[in-house]
Amino acid sequence: MNLAEVLADEDARWAELHELIGRLTSEQLASPGYYREGWSAKDLLAHVGTWLAEAGMMLERIAAGTYRHGELDVDAVNERTLEALRDVAFSVVTAQASASRTRMRHALVELREPSAEATWWIRKAGPDHYAEHLPRLREWVEELRSS
Domain ranges of the chain: 41-146
Residue-averaged pLDDT of the chain: 92
pLDDT tens column, 84-106: 888 999 999 999 999 999 999 99
Angle between helices 116-125 and 41-64 (to 10 degrees): 170
Q: What is the pTM of this model?
A: 0.92
- The top-scoring range by mean pLDDT among 35-44, 73-82, 130-139 is 130-139
Collapsing DSSP to helix, strand or coil, 100 comes out as helix
